[in-house]
Amino acid sequence: MNEEQKKNLIKTIEESDEWQRIDTSIDGLYVVKPPEYNNNQAVFVELRPTINGQAPKRRGLYLKSIDDFEAYKKLLENPKTRELITIISEYYGIRKTPKIEI
């Protein structure tokens, strides 16, 4: 990101409303500005991927530091995480509800 882009990002964040989701050029990656707390302004990066063009839920994962990012990255890259999600999806995935004839 060049200096002009950084300045534009900061200006956009400062001009945005509380809880406004600011789009980025990367699909599924947003910037969110929560309300100030104790005179401190936090800003989050929201990860909200799309599957087949639809967001799977209303809110994504909020990250506010590189430590948050690294911790989630470590969890997501763990092969046991993938194995657990695969098993859960297999046994508890979305099933069609039966249609009851009346």
Q: What share of the chain is helix, strand, coil (3-state, %, to 5)?
A: 40, 20, 40
pTM exceeds 0.85, yes or no: no
Alpha-carbon separation of residue 27 from 22, 38, 67, 89 (angstroms): 12, 32, 23, 24
pLDDT band with cut points at 50, 70 and 90 for residue 59: confident
- Are 41 and 31 in contact by the 8 Å Cβ rule? The answer is no
> Tell me: the pLDDT tens digits for 70-98?
999 998 999 998 888 787 777 766 666 66
Tell me the domain boundaries of the chain.
Answer: 1-63, 65-94
Beta strands per DSSP E along the chain: 20-23, 29-33, 44-47, 61-63
> Tell me: the pLDDT tens digits for 5-23?
989 999 999 899 999 999 9
